Amino acid sequence: MKHVATLLSILTTLGLILFLDGRISIPGNPLPPLAHFLHPVAGVWNNTTSLMPGDEELTMNGVQKASIVYDERWVPHIYASSMEDALFLQGYTEASNRLFQMDFMTRAAEGRLSEVMGPLTLAFDKSRNRSLIETTAQNAVIAWSKHPESMKLLQRYVDGVNAYISQLKPADYPVEYKLLDFKPELWTVKKSALVYSSMADVLCGRSDDLESTNSLAVLGRKLFDEFYPEQNDGGYPVIPYERKYDFKNEHASEAPDSISQGPFYQYYYENRTKGIGSNNWAVSPSKSLTGNAILCNDPHLSLTLPSIWIEEHIVTPEVNAYGVSFPGFPGIMIGFNDYIAWGETNVSQDVEDLFHVVWTGNDKTTYKSGTGVKEAKKVVKTIKIKNMPDVLDTIIYIDKGVVRFESNDGKTDLAVRWLPVDVKNEAEFMTFIDVMKSHNKAEFKKALRHFNTPAQNFIFASESGEIALFVNGLFPIRQNEDGRFVEPASNPEGDWQHYIPRDQNPYIENPISGYVTSSNQRSAGKDYPYYYTGKFEHARNMSINQKLRDTAKWDVAKMKKMQADNFNYFASKSLPVLLDILKTKHAQHPLIKQWSSWDYNYTASSMAATSYEALFKKIYELTFDEILMHQDTMDILYPEDWRMVDLISRDTNSMIFDLISTPEKKEDRRAIVLSAFDKISTGEQAAKNNIPWGSHKPLNINHYTRLPALSVRGLSVDGTTDAINAVGESYGPSWRMIIDMAGGEKTKAYGVYPGGQSGNPLSPYYKNMVATWSDHKYNELNHSSNPEKITKTKTIKINQ
Amino acid sequence: MSDKIYSLLATVITLCGTFFLPWWSIPTLIFVAAMFYKGSKLKAAGIATGIATMIWVSIAGIKDGLASEKAASLVAGIFGNIAPSLIFTLTGLIIGTVTGMAATSGKLVAGYFSKD
């Protein structure tokens, strides 16, 4: 008995030690090694921070005398003697504040999340292996390496990140590393390229080819054109109609690509996120109360903790630039310097095409091409999974791209071609570095010539009062409807062969209207000689253009108000018509009274917004029943809201209003509207109408791991995707910026994003700006080139 | 080894094992120390558990007390919205349980070498 007790005691002790040390893993156990995680000196307790951090003096090889001053919001102001040193210190500060985010983003891009997250993310990793993000990054590194200036600067940034990582002790690892029990890897140029290509994936890594093909197949051409007109006649293009084009499309006579026969009875896509987009606008001194050009930008992207942006100020003898950057990629993407201000919105043109591959054998080694067959290339990638055996993932490539979606029958698949893979500009990396250095429009334009993808609407304002907008990037030359549908991979001549010459991209400089603006709508008017397709915005651009046109003079206060504007243009167009119909039968109904006094603003407290959304959704469901009836069997193209508004307000007797389920009668707009009202004003839905908009559609700002404790969830905020303040359920204005471009120290700059500068959930700077953002307040951006004028929280002196 | 010496040794071992050595050195060294302790198994385990728990909880408490954002609250949230005080308890339990078990094992092994 004594032996048994001793043996049991020793084995229990050893077992406990091994378990708490993480040497014994229990499948499905989500806990980190607890003795490490809760270690009072090296564990999570060591990640707590003080409100009064001490100053530091550091010695760094290869860097001249420099300093990093953290201000009262933990914005690093980097004072260096050269751009090389500044980028080194940018890398250092980004790593010291956002290391886990940088690491996680690049692992996600490479399909390596399962290494640290376990089998939960295996499907995600497999999808990433078929995304072309890594191929794009690899191609970018090859191209950039041919440009010595790019590589020199990139390498300095990489060295800065690694200078931070190399001195890190396990006790100092960010909380998430301790929680997930892994170590940071050294940074590389490829990782920076992955950050870049990940953003390209977010902004242009999606097309509607499959959904369009399915919808065309089930609706037929006539109804398809009724449901999905390509042009909205009422919209303002990014580049206004006053811009005339004195060139021709030299390839206009080429034949359009053929279309694959759908439908494809299988689900491939998750629901598409609505709301990724952005606004920017600038007014010239003629429309400004201050006499300066004023530039505004608010990119609507995923709202995450930490934010996808980090605020930074870089000062060298040749540059004094302030703005936001993507952690992991050097330079400032949206910002200003002493002479100019700049920003971007996404162009939204479709640069991803799908191909239907017909295999000629069961092993998917050959596929139909022309009159013969071609060989596919197979690449086997090993996916490492935490606490599990590795998984081998076979990825198949055809001549046009990667096989992304495999069908259940194994005989045909869908492959993808993506423009960012195609052509890399060797100096593309230099775009934002050269923009930061620009003194005027000519230098700014020159910098933009390097930039290929993801195509952006670059907005510009200068201290001299110039404003401009450039639809900038690499665009394929397409014939009518090319890129709209799935194409047969068997056509060797199919898909784009040429690119629009750079100087034929649409742009406008100093327009007579006194303003420029973009919000992801169509790039140019119908007279632009090149066909393009994509997913374009139709409501915000109307609100913005009308406000800019109708307001004689602007100042910063008015710009702030405009960025916070919750007016839904679609609601303002459709609801008066709907009310005219509804009042004929339900004049005294409380909902009618509620809507009659509504100003179409989606404030958090608005009940009318909630009930109107329910009505609109129901009318949409009844109207587009012909296509929605297929949504349970295949990926369909959902008609856009602007088409619904168009039908409500203009096309009373459209055949689309007729319900499929009642062949014996013919419904019109009135019948559909009254039926929709009956459905939402009774029963369960009636109770749901009495919820304020902010509670009905709360905002979630999730941490990358989706852990609620590290996220901010259930925020009741103003806004909707079709308002200028385009807040969705987990996305929205990710950085609001307003620059009154007086020049030099006189420039007044304001900005805010929903998050905080630090990626450490135990830092007071982790989410300190969320409330500022949700209250529509701004921080004044201190861009002084004199470090003594910065309110200091902490100073790091380097080699002093 | 008397109660006093054993307690002092347990304190030194826990402090060294916390600040300078891998955490598992604490139960390992306590195991050895307990072999030379004259008291009962229960007392050996009790003293080791008490001292190790107190030291870990105290350090965690001081760090969290001085912090602007509380680690206990964050971890409590991560572990499913439990009370933050339970995170201190868990921190103490981790080291206390293993150290107590190591002391018990040490005493049991010492029994084989005892002349009694």
Please, what is the angle between helix A607-623 and helix A641-650, to 10°?
A: 80
A269: buried, middle or exposed (CB in 10 Å: 19+, 13-18, 0-12)?
exposed
> pLDDT at residue B109 above 80?
yes
Which residues of chain A neighbour B76 with C-beta distances below 8 Å? 709
Q: Taking a C-beta distance cutoff of 8 angstroms, is the pair A569, A658 a contact?
A: no
Residue A119 has what pLDDT? Answer: 92
> Cβ separation of B63 and A179 shorter than 8 Å?
no
Q: Nearest-CA distance from A3 to chain B in Å?
A: 9
> Cβ separation of B67 and A50 shorter than 8 Å?
yes
Residue A275 has what pLDDT? Answer: 56
The token duo for A189 is 């140029």
> Cβ separation of A41 and B19 shorter than 8 Å?
yes
Give the 3-state DSSP-derived string for A441-475, with helices as H, strands as E and coil as C: HHHHHHHHCCCCCCCEEEEEEECCCCEEEEEECCC
Amino acid at A519: S
Which residues of chain A neighbour B60 with C-beta distances below 8 Å? 38, 40, 45
Q: Nearest-CA distance from B3 to chain A in Å?
A: 22
Which residues of chain A neighbour B19 with C-beta distances below 8 Å? 41
The token duo for A171 is 């006790």
> Cβ separation of A708 and B77 shorter than 8 Å?
yes
ipTM over the 0.85 cut-off: yes
Q: Nearest-CA distance from A10 to chain B in Å?
A: 5
> Cβ separation of B23 and A766 shorter than 8 Å?
no
Q: Nearest-CA distance from B56 to chain A in Å?
A: 6
10-residue mean pLDDT profile of chain A (800 residues): values are 89 94 79 94 92 87 95 98 98 98 97 94 95 94 96 97 96 96 96 96 91 95 94 87 90 85 77 72 97 97 96 98 98 98 96 94 90 94 93 95 89 93 88 97 97 96 98 94 92 86 96 96 93 92 96 97 98 96 95 97 97 97 96 92 92 87 92 96 88 96 96 97 94 97 97 98 97 98 96 94
Please, what is the angle between helix A189-204 and helix A133-144, to 10°?
A: 130
Q: Which of the residues A45, A172, A177, A713 would you substitute to probe the B interface, choosing the one with the greatest number of B C-beta atoms within 10 Å?
A: A45
Residue B47 has what pLDDT? Answer: 97
The token duo for A106 is 């690049």
Q: Taking a C-beta distance cutoff of 8 angstroms, is the pair A196, A127 a contact?
A: no
> pLDDT at residue B116 above 90?
no
Return the number of other C-beta atoms located less than 10 Å from residue A407's C-beta: 16
The token duo for A531 is 């066909």
Print burial letters for B79-88: b (CB count within 10 Å at least 16), e (below 16).
eeeeebeebb
Which residues of chain B neighbour A21 with C-beta distances below 8 Å? 23-24
Least CA distance to B89: which residue of chain A?
A38
Q: Is B74 on the interface with A (CB under 8 A)?
A: yes
Dist CA A413 CA A265 (whole Å): 12
Q: Nearest-CA distance from A113 to chain B in Å?
A: 20
Which of B23, B60, B69 lies closest to A762 in CB terms? Answer: B69
Least CA distance to B78: which residue of chain A?
A709
Residue A491 has what pLDDT? Answer: 86
Which residues of chain A neighbour B51 with C-beta distances below 8 Å? none
Residue A234 has what pLDDT? Answer: 76
Residue A422 has what pLDDT? Answer: 86
A487-488 vs A352-358, strand pairing mode: parallel
Residue A736 has what pLDDT? Answer: 98
Return the number of other C-beta atoms located less than 10 Å from residue A423's C-beta: 13
Q: Taking a C-beta distance cutoff of 8 angstroms, is the pair A285, A465 a contact?
A: yes
Give the 3-state DSSP-derived string for chain B, with helices as H, strands as E and coil as C: CCHHHHHHHHHHHHHHHHHCCCCCHHHHHHHHHHHCCCCCHHHHHHHHHHHHHHHHHHHHHHHHHHCCCCHHHHHHHHCCCCCHHHHHHHHHHHHHHHHHHHHHHHHHHHHHHCCC
Q: Is B69 on the interface with A (CB under 8 A)?
A: yes
Q: Is B68 on the interface with A (CB under 8 A)?
A: yes
Q: Nearest-CA distance from B67 to chain A in Å?
A: 5
Which residues of chain A neighbour B110 with C-beta distances below 8 Å? none
Residue A254 has what pLDDT? Answer: 83
Q: Is B112 on the interface with A (CB under 8 A)?
A: yes
Q: Which of the residues B58, B81, B98 would you substitute to probe the A interface, choosing the one with the greatest number of A C-beta atoms within 10 Å?
A: B98
How many residues are recorded in chain B? 116
- A/B interface, count of CB pairs below 8 Å: 114
Dist CA A552 CA A571 (whole Å): 26
> Cβ separation of A764 and B108 shorter than 8 Å?
no
Residue A387 has what pLDDT? Answer: 85
> Cβ separation of A13 and B27 shorter than 8 Å?
yes
Residue A257 has what pLDDT? Answer: 81
Q: Which of the residues B29, B73, B74 would you substitute to probe the A interface, choosing the one with the greatest number of A C-beta atoms within 10 Å?
A: B74
Q: Is B99 on the interface with A (CB under 8 A)?
A: no
Angle at B92 between CA A31 and CA A42, to 5 degrees: 65
Least CA distance to A37: which residue of chain B?
B91
Residues of A with CB under 8 A from a CB of B: 2, 5-6, 9-10, 12-13, 16-17, 20-21, 34-42, 44-51, 175, 179, 707-710, 761-764, 766
DSSP string, A357-393: EEBSSTTSSEEEETTEEEE-EEEEEEEEETTEEEEEE
Tell which wins on pLDDT, A408 or B10.
Answer: B10
Return the number of other C-beta atoms located less than 10 Å from residue A613's C-beta: 19
pTM of the model as a whole: 0.95
Residue B17 has what pLDDT? Answer: 97
